[in-house]
Copies of this chain bind each other. A is one copy, B any other.
Amino acid sequence: MTENLDQHFLNKVFEASGITKEELKSILPKYKQVTFIKNDYLLKEGQVEKKYWFMESGFVRSYIIDTEGNDITFNLYASGDVVIDYPSIFFFAPTRENIQALTDCVCWEITFEDFQEMFNSISSFREQQRSLLVGSYFALKQHSISLIADEAKVRYLRFLKEKPQIIQNVSLKHIATFLGITDTSLSRIRKEILS
């Protein structure tokens, strides 16, 4: 890992958030580049998450197994996204969620300790991280409203528009459960859209 090149990706992540170059010098070294290969688990049900990741490349899926044993995709992540289970990491609670690499991935990992230390000492980092959390909350809120208010076709079309690269790289059955429908229904919806 050549230090200068490695930092390129995170520089891009942080540059828009009012963090100074000086602060970046203490922030960036806390992030470690890690790679996952297809099917690796970033987090498994029952574990307490102690670190989280910025994704540089690849695709990741989080899912839960519901009470009837169904596999339900809770979220799909791509380049630029933050992969984190907030409740587990902040409450030191065993997660109910599995997070798995769908493809080989390059990620930037930070431990909760390092995060916590910088969150308390660097106010611009604090603002940026809080924004990420609120942004996740907002996205989840939109998704939740969509599940109630929109029919499945609309949810699919919206997702297609917002995350085309995910539609192209993730299998339909995973996208379907994320949208709250079966793969069969999604297949029919796609057929209907084509005509």
A interface residues (Cβ-Cβ under 8 A, vs B): 64, 66-68, 70, 72, 74, 86-87, 90-91, 120, 123, 126, 130-131, 133-138, 140-141, 143-145, 147-150, 177, 180
Which residue, of A67, A72, A86, has the highest number of chain B Cβ atoms within 10 A?
Answer: A86
A126 → chain B closest CB, angstroms: 8
**This protein's copies in its complex:** 2
A141, B74: Cβ atoms under 8 Å?
yes
A129 → chain B closest CB, angstroms: 10
A66, B149: Cβ atoms under 8 Å?
yes
Which residue, of A123, A150, A180, has the highest number of chain B Cβ atoms within 10 A?
Answer: A180
**Chain A interface main SS type:** helix
Q: Inside 8 A of A180's CB, which chain B residues have their CB?
A: 147-148
| A72 in contact with B145 given A90-B130, A123-B120 (CB within 8 Å) | yes
Q: List 20 A-B contacts (CB under 8 A).
A: A66-B150, A67-B149, A72-B149, A74-B141, A87-B135, A87-B137, A87-B138, A90-B130, A91-B134, A120-B123, A120-B126, A133-B137, A136-B137, A137-B137, A137-B140, A140-B141, A140-B144, A144-B144, A147-B147, A148-B180
